[in-house]
Each structure stands twice: as structure tokens, then as C-alpha cells.
Chains A and B, each alone.
Chain A
Amino acid sequence: MPELRGGQLAVILCAADAEALDALVAPGHGARTLRTCSDEVLVVAAPDVADTVAREVRDRIAALDPDALVLDVTDGWSAWSLIGADAAHAFSYLSALPVPDPGGFTQGDVARIGATVLGGDDAVTILVPAYWRQHVRERAIRDANAIEVRP
């Protein structure tokens, strides 16, 4: 059975012109840059590099679109990871979405709510608005038979 872990992820949102985001150089520090729509990017990073990543994004986008909005929206998101060799199978009890390849992401309906899904090695991370944190946890345990592991 897969493990369910509440994720510790920082999320930086950058809203800017599509052309500016096209030209934005992704920050380093192991952050993942998710182009969620034409005028929005979410940068997902470890919490300890969040400030650095936010600063890099802010500096880089300012040169491309001076009106861009860059916000640390970590509080608005909740991450749950299904971990284990059967994580993809467990995920199929929650969503019709194909599991993204490691490093990739997709967006759509997970447990009947809108979610962003990050692929990983033997792991699937489900990123949802924070007010649905409990809903995803309950569904993962009930329907995907995940065992919650608390850090």
C-alpha cells in the first residue's frame, strides 16, 4: 500500500504577460517551474529556498514585465504525496488523469476537485488549494488505501 505524506512545499506564483513568462529563465535550487496557464507560473520549491527562489523570479521577471505580480502563495496550497511502487495505481483510484512522468506535471480533476499533479520517482504529488487539504487526505486514505505517514 502506498504511503501518504503531507508535503512541505513552497509555492511562488508569478502572474505576468505570456511573452514574459515564455522568456523567464527558471530558477535553480531544485525548484520546479509549472506553467499552469499562459499568464501564470507556479514555482514549487523546498521551503528552505523559497525566499531565494522568490527573489530570483521577481528579479528576472521584472526585466521582462515590470507589472508582473510575484507572490509567495505557499499558504494557499496543500501538497499530498502518494509514495511507493504502487503510487500510480493508487492514484488511479482518485483521478482519470495520466500520472505525469518524473519531473512533469498535469492539471485536472483529482478526487473530484481541481488539482495540479507532479510526477516523481515512485511518487505522485497532488497540489490542491489549502481549503481542500482534508478532502484529499480523506479520499486518499479511503479510496486509494493509502497509509498516512506523519513526519
Chain B
Amino acid sequence: MATLRLDGRRIEVQDGDTIGAAAFRAGVRTFSRSLKSHRRRGLYCGTGDCANCLVTVDGMPGARACVTEARDGMRVTRETGWPSADRDTLAIMDRMHWATPVGFYYKVFSRPRWLWPLAERVIRRATGTGTLPPTEHVTATPTRFLRVDTLVIGGGVAGLAAAAAATGRVAVAEGGSIGAAAIDPEARAAIDRLAVQARVAGVEILERHAAIGIYEGPSVPLLGPDELVEVEASRVIVATGAIEAHGVFPGNDLPGIWLGRGAARVAAAGVKIGDRAIVVANTDAGERIGAALRAAGAHVTVVTGRVLEARGRTQVSSVTVLTPQGRRAYACDALVLSLGWAPRDSLLRMSPDPEVVGAGEVVLPGCSLTAAEDSGRAAARGESVEARLAEPWPVLEHEGYVCVCEDVRVHDLEAAWEEGWTSSEILKRYTTATMGPCQAALCSRHLAAFTQEKGAVPGATGRTTARPPLRAPRLEELIGGVHEQAERRTALHERHHALGARMDHSGLWLRPGTYGEFREEIRAVRQRVSVMDVSTLGKFLVGGRDARALLDWTFPLDVASVAPGRARYLLALDEAGYVMDDGLLAALRDGTFFLTSTSGGADRMEAWLRNWIDRLDLHAHLVNQTAQLGAINVAGPHARDLLAALSGDDLSREAIPYPGHGEIEVAGVPCRALAVGFVGELSYELHHPRGRSVELWDALLDAGRRWDIRPHGLDALDVLRLEKGHVYLAQDTMPDDHPTKLGLDWAVAMRKPDFVGKRALERMAQLPLERSLVGLRFDGSPQRGHPLTVDGAIVGRITSCTESEAVGGSIGLGWVRAVDGVFPAQLRAGELTATVVPTPFYDPGGERLRA
């Protein structure tokens, strides 16, 4: 015999049992304690709709015992109650409603201020549903995508009829197993027949896949047992059925009170829900439910009427019903309600999309099997069925729990109404009714009915908004396929690893931070020779007869002044004249242009250029070569010597001027060599086919041993560029920086007739310069981001700083605001003195890079 352990107690499990059925058979009546008042809660809906039976299964909280299949060896614990759900000392809260009126936490514990954090901790310990398992690692649930013409949510009669009749690719998502919820033999037979038809029609049936929401698209996430399925559907048919309406009357939350279909379902599993059961039925389901209970051995009385009150201590022991014959009291140990129908329409209400329609009981609550089947087929044909109002509209007696999840009574709604919260949405927020784990499955109509009964103004009486998720997903499911770090790797990634590089994230790229000692890498650049993988730079080829016109318009540099074979520093400005990006423009000898951008700005640069080609209808072609070309910067006094050792091409300044470029072969690899100066030494950026990066890198390192070559990473680059006074866009700049603020006026050809941002620059030139990026020398070692002050007033901040061996001392860049129209020459950075100095700090004449 299979067994599970419930709170340590061994319980027998029969074939087909849910945890709830097995536990109930073993005598468990209290499955949880309520959130606030710690009242006993037993099995109620029996269909997974309410949250009365939430238990922790094998360490995972939040399982609904009534629909979770029981398995041998399971360890189940009830989540609420201290020391146990059966004997809960906090049940005293049920006698302290006077101390915890509705919305009390908005009103108390606010003075003194230290009290609330304390009270909050106590409240949280005393409430809640389960404890998250202690774990350090969460593995994302595998996510798959499913694109279908029609997704049917719900595998009952209407859903399967819709699926079998729908055309194209069709899928059915059923939260449980097909047919498992059907107790009526006729319904079961119809489901079996329709399931066969659907399968023959090629429908993909996803059992134990629960839809938790409908998003724009329509897009529907399905939580499966071991996967998250993101469904993109052209049409969604919601066929989630209906349950019996929640009854609100004094004592309505006592264990032993059931909703009809759930009770019948438990009884069908061979569980006797009571010796003496009273079925109060205002639907045509009363006799069917009664028959199911009798078959399980209960003595059943079926009555019609209005429940006035239920009584009992630990579970229901009597009920008073206003029948057509008058007021009647019945002794009972089970009270089963079938007062009306409540469509499971939360999913349907989540989407206003006309492609999302309902079928079956969700729009025709209480309909016959034939009507359900017909409505499914109609939905498959694209006919939407007007939702029929669930009748009777819920009746609220003078007392009773409206929201069993959040312990909200009729009395609480009355109190909130008296305080002025007079619409269903506001009542929801103030009282927290409908905000519990069942997500308004039971009580949203009741809240709306209450506001109608109270005479709320039109527009304030509707049902509260339904939003995803319908069920609480686990963290594993929430992160399924979402937190994706798509890392771009250069062709030299493995080489960097082999050299012991610390790889850093730089935007989307993984790049070497340092290979060990970055100061030594700096010395290699300044004194010998070094290489750096700069494959991440944006690289573009621009051609076509309007290429020059495109570049002349898009960038502020004078393109006409860039002769074939030459290159120029390039700023990219937006229409407001603000600096977006920078790079290099090289005029190739075939009339095309080669353009580089920052690593992080490549995608934006491409979009920017394509946008202008389209807007100006230019005959220009753009090829993004960022992925196609690798690039290695060879820098240092011996850079030319190193290349000469590997190349027979002319490397002189006549062949490759500064700034300029040449097409050469290095170690047999064709390279476009750009003579650049970002690090302030003789440098050649070797742009080459990515597939040959490793070959070129190895050859350079091998030949460079003669000069004690070593590669440098981002840490060294940060110092090297700062010594030259070069800015890092975003780190040293702000979104509204125009070239003047950055000291980059020289890169703007204002004499050109027009270019993007020119008019904005002209207007800004009329205004006094309020702040400027300046070079700074410090008499100590400051921190980046430190405020810069004059007479104690903050006038700027440090954007970059470093200790420089080459310059001798501490240098940096920083923003400084003009004080009374004058830029200060000396500032304070905390205890340090910062002196404004011209840049570059290193080799101001640029002799070294022109060597």
C-alpha cells in the first residue's frame, strides 16, 4: 500500500487519490488556518479553485491538496497554524476582530515610527501561506515556444469540441488530466469521444499545462510539470468551465462545507465526505451530486432554498435553510452547496482581444453537455458566444466570509463602505478582498454584488480587473527563458582564456579586463609593444553614389577633406547637437568608406545610418561588418617593427599616414591597417577576416617576443586613453553634451552647409557655457564620481581618474560648472586639491603616435 506522510503522520494512499482525498479519508478535516483570524479551513471547492487546502509538498509550498495527485513517499505539511493546523494557538485572533478591523494596518503602528517595522515582522510571522524552500540556486524551467492557429484552454466537453472542429494547427491546454474532473458518466463519455476526435484531427493536447494568463498577442504562458510553454496563438478559445457559486452566510467557512462538484468528485474517488450530508441546490445538479455522495455511503438530503446559517465548532454540525416550505434546521456533518454557477472567466476577462472567445460553461454557466459541445464548435468557427450572466447573482447574507483567502467578511465590507470606500476596485484595495491566492475565483462577483446592493454610482460596481498570473508561478518558472545574458564573444575568446585573462562584461561583449598585471601591460604599450583585441568595435562599409552625401549630412566632419588613404576622427551628433557616439572614418581607394564606432554604439550607429538613407532616399549602401571583421590594435614604439617582421608591405608614413590606412598583409592575413592614436603611441588597428583572428594574434605574439610583447586589456586601456585625455562616452559624458562642453569643437566643421545637429549647435553657441569637461591633476588619489567643490559648494564631479606612471601623478577628467561665469582653476575633491590642467596629459604634441 502506498503511503505519504502528512505532518509526519503516515497516511494510506489509494489509486487515483489526490492528497486531499487521502488526507480526508484519514480523518483530516482542517487543512489550513485562515490568514488573519486563524479560522479552520477544510476542503471546500475540491476543484483547485479556492486556496483552502494549500499544503507544502516535498518542500515546495502552495500545492492545492484537492487536485494534487498523491504519490507514495510524498512528504506533505500543512502550511499554517502554530504549533499545528489542528491546534493553533493563534486562533485567539478569531476573538480579536475588534483589534484588527478592516484596514487596521493603514491606521495603527505608525507612531512612533520604529513601531511599524516591528509590527510588520510580527504580522508577517503570524500570517502567510507556507515558507519558501531554503535554496541558493534556482534553475530556470525550460521554456519552449508554441505557435498555433488556435489554442483552446480547457480540456472539457466544450474545449475538446472546439479543438476537434478548429482548423490549422491547434493545441489544447488542460490544467489536469483530460476527463479527470468529470464525474458524470455522460460527460466522461463525451470527453472521451471528443478527445479521440481531437487527436485524430492532429490536435496537440497538453495535459497538466495550466494557463496562467492571457497577454497581448494573444500570448498565453502555460505552466507544465517540467516546462514553461509560451504560446503565440492567432485565436484563443477559453473553455475553463464553471464551478458552483461561493455561498456567503454566517458560518460559511466551516470545515465540512463543500461546493457541489468538488464534493461529488471527492465522493467519486470513494471518499465519504460525511455521514449525514445536506445538499442545498438551486441548480439542476442537486440530485446528481446527491447520488454521488450516496454512492460513497453518505446519508443525503437534498433541499432547495437559501442558506441562512451554518453552525459548528471544529466543523459544520447544523445548517438553517430558508426553503419554500419555510425555515428549516438540519443536523449534518457535511453541507454541500450548489447555489448557482460561477464561470471560471478570469482568463477570458484578462483580454479584450476579439480573438479571445469563450466556449461552454464559461459563457453559458450550467449549460447542458449538448449546448457545451455546440458552443465549442461555434467558437471554432469564429462565432463568439455572448456570455450569459451567472444566475442567481450571489446573495450575501448579513454575515459570512466573502473572501476566504483574505478573511474578509460582509461586516468588513460594510465597515469599509462606511469609511467611504464606495467602489469595488477601491474596496478591493482597502479590504484586500479578491487579492488572495485564489485570485478572486470565488469572490469577485460578491464584491461587485455588494457595491450594487449598496447603490454605488455607475462604473463603481463592476467586477475587479483580472490580471495574470492566475496561479502563483514558482521562481523557476518566472525566470524561464527570461533572464538571458547573450554574450558576444570575439574570435580570440579562447586565446584570452588561455592567457589567463579576467574576462569582463563590456556591454554585450566579453572582453579581457587584464591578463594579470595591468601596470605592466601599460608599460608594454608605452615602452615596447603590445596588442589588444578590439574586434568589438563597430565596423561599417558605406558605398553607393550618395555615400559621401550621407556621411556629410550624418556627421559633422568635413568628408571632402578625407582623401583616399586618409582617416579622420568622427563624432556622431543627434538632431539636438548632443554627442551620440564617436569613431573613425577612412576613405578607401575604391570610393567607398570604412567607418568604425564604439563597441557599444555599433547597433545604434547602423540604425542611425539606415534611417538617414531611408529618410533622404539616398543611393547609398551600408554593410555592418562588425561580426565579419576581427580587429587587433598593435601599439607601442616597436609597433612598426613588429609588423615589419611579419609583412613585406610598405609600412612607412608615406604608405600609411597618420591618421590614415593601408591594405597590407600581416603573417599572410589580409589586413586593413588603420593608423590611430587612442592610446597615444604608434598604433595600427589591423582589421581582418574574423576567421583568421587566431592566426594573426598568434603570429603577432610570437614575433613580438623579441620586444617582450604582452597583450593589454580594458584596465590598461582605461589608463592609456586617460593619459591622452580621450573620453569614454557615457562614463565621461552625459546625454546632453555637445562638442563644446567636451572640448571637441575641433571635430566639428561648422563651415559645412549643413549636417545633423548643426542648427542646434549654432543656437547653443549663443549661450554661455555653463559646464565643461576638464583635465584635472590631484595631489592624492581620488575616487571616480567624487564631488568637486569650490568653497564647500559642489560644482562638479570626477568622471575618470587614475595614477599615471607616464605622466607622474594622479590625473583625471571631471565636469566643472562655471561659478559666476568663470570656470574655477582649482577645486577640492574631499581632502584633495584638484587643479584644472590642459589635456592631453601625455605627449601633448602627439609626436609619439605620429612616429
- A complexed with B: yes
Say yes or no: A75 contacts B623, CB within 8 Å.
no
A132 and B541 in contact, given A73-B628, A75-B691, A92-B145 (Cβ under 8 angstroms): no
A68 to B620, CA, bound (A): 9
Docked complex: B343-385 residues within 8 A CB-CB of A = none
Say yes or no: A131 contacts B619, CB within 8 Å.
no
A75 to B691, CA, bound (A): 5
Known: A75-B691, A96-B145. 10 other contacts (CB 8 A): A15-B623, A67-B544, A69-B621, A73-B628, A76-B625, A92-B146, A129-B627, A134-B489, A135-B487, A143-B142
- List of B residues within 8 angstroms of A97 by Cβ: 145, 147
- List of B residues within 8 angstroms of A13 by Cβ: 623
- List of B residues within 8 angstroms of A135 by Cβ: 486-489
CB distance from A76 to the nearest CB of B (A): 3
Main secondary structure of the interface of B (DSSP, over half): mixed
Partner of A77, one of B144, B489, B592, B627: B627
Partner of A15, one of B142, B493, B622, B626: B622
Which residues of B are interface residues toward A (Cβ below 8 A)?
142-147, 230, 232, 481, 484, 486-491, 493, 509, 541, 543-545, 592, 619, 621-623, 625-629, 689-692
Chain B proximity mask over A74-95: 1 for CB below 8 Å, otherwise 0: 1111000000000000001111
Say yes or no: A39 contacts B144, CB within 8 Å.
no
Say yes or no: A75 contacts B145, CB within 8 Å.
no
- Does A133 reach chain B (CB closer than 8 Å)? yes
A76 to B592, CA, bound (A): 20
Chain B proximity mask over A50-79: 1 for CB below 8 Å, otherwise 0: 000000000000000001110101111100
CB distance from B143 to the nearest CB of A (A): 7
The closest CB in chain A to the CB of B539 belongs to: A76
Say yes or no: B628 contacts A143, CB within 8 Å.
no
Say yes or no: B144 contacts A131, CB within 8 Å.
no
Chain B proximity mask over A4-40: 1 for CB below 8 Å, otherwise 0: 0000000001011100000000000000000000010
A71 and B541 in contact, given A96-B145, A96-B147 (Cβ under 8 angstroms): yes
A75 and B690 in contact, given A39-B621, A130-B491, A131-B490 (Cβ under 8 angstroms): yes
The closest CB in chain B to the CB of A17 belongs to: B619
Docked complex: A133-148 residues within 8 A CB-CB of B = 133-135, 143
The closest CB in chain A to the CB of B542 belongs to: A69
Say yes or no: A67 contacts B545, CB within 8 Å.
yes
A129 to B629, CA, bound (A): 11
CB distance from A30 to the nearest CB of B (A): 22
CB distance from A56 to the nearest CB of B (A): 19
- Does A113 reach chain B (CB closer than 8 Å)? yes
Say yes or no: A130 contacts B690, CB within 8 Å.
yes
The closest CB in chain B to the CB of A138 belongs to: B487
Say yes or no: B488 contacts A131, CB within 8 Å.
yes
- List of B residues within 8 angstroms of A96 by Cβ: 145, 147, 230, 232
A113 to B603, CA, bound (A): 13
Say yes or no: A133 contacts B489, CB within 8 Å.
yes
CB distance from A68 to the nearest CB of B (A): 7
Docked complex: A96-131 residues within 8 A CB-CB of B = 96-98, 111-113, 129-131
- 15 pairs, CB–CB < 8 Å, chain A vs chain B: A67-B543, A67-B544, A68-B621, A69-B541, A73-B623, A77-B627, A92-B145, A93-B144, A95-B145, A96-B232, A130-B628, A132-B486, A135-B488, A135-B489, A143-B481
The closest CB in chain B to the CB of A133 belongs to: B489
- List of A residues within 8 angstroms of B509 by Cβ: 131
Which residues of A are interface residues toward B (Cβ below 8 A)?
13, 15-17, 39, 67-69, 71, 73-77, 92-98, 111-113, 129-135, 143
- List of A residues within 8 angstroms of B592 by Cβ: 69
CB distance from B439 to the nearest CB of A (A): 26
The closest CB in chain A to the CB of B592 belongs to: A69
- List of A residues within 8 angstroms of B622 by Cβ: 15
Q: How many A-B residue pairs have CB under 8 A?
A: 94
CB distance from B462 to the nearest CB of A (A): 34
A112 and B484 in contact, given A73-B625, A75-B691, A76-B627 (Cβ under 8 angstroms): yes
CB distance from A35 to the nearest CB of B (A): 15
A74 and B541 in contact, given A39-B621, A93-B142 (Cβ under 8 angstroms): no
- List of A residues within 8 angstroms of B230 by Cβ: 96
CB distance from A129 to the nearest CB of B (A): 4
A113 to B508, CA, bound (A): 11
Say yes or no: B627 contacts A131, CB within 8 Å.
yes
Say yes or no: B690 contacts A92, CB within 8 Å.
no
The closest CB in chain A to the CB of B144 belongs to: A93
CB distance from B21 to the nearest CB of A (A): 35
CB distance from B700 to the nearest CB of A (A): 18
- List of B residues within 8 angstroms of A134 by Cβ: 487, 489, 493
The closest CB in chain A to the CB of B217 belongs to: A96
- List of A residues within 8 angstroms of B142 by Cβ: 93, 143
- List of A residues within 8 angstroms of B544 by Cβ: 67, 69
CB distance from B537 to the nearest CB of A (A): 12
The closest CB in chain A to the CB of B603 belongs to: A114
Say yes or no: B690 contacts A132, CB within 8 Å.
no
A15 to B622, CA, bound (A): 7
The closest CB in chain B to the CB of A67 belongs to: B544
The closest CB in chain B to the CB of A74 belongs to: B691
CB distance from A58 to the nearest CB of B (A): 13
CB distance from A80 to the nearest CB of B (A): 14
The closest CB in chain B to the CB of A37 belongs to: B610
A113 to B509, CA, bound (A): 14
Say yes or no: A75 contacts B486, CB within 8 Å.
no
- List of A residues within 8 angstroms of B628 by Cβ: 71, 73, 75-77, 130
- List of A residues within 8 angstroms of B144 by Cβ: 92-93, 143
CB distance from B232 to the nearest CB of A (A): 5
The closest CB in chain A to the CB of B483 belongs to: A112
Say yes or no: B627 contacts A15, CB within 8 Å.
no
- List of B residues within 8 angstroms of A95 by Cβ: 145
Say yes or no: A15 contacts B621, CB within 8 Å.
yes
A106 to B491, CA, bound (A): 26
- List of B residues within 8 angstroms of A132 by Cβ: 486, 488-489
Say yes or no: B627 contacts A93, CB within 8 Å.
no
A71 and B623 in contact, given A92-B146, A98-B147, A132-B488 (Cβ under 8 angstroms): yes
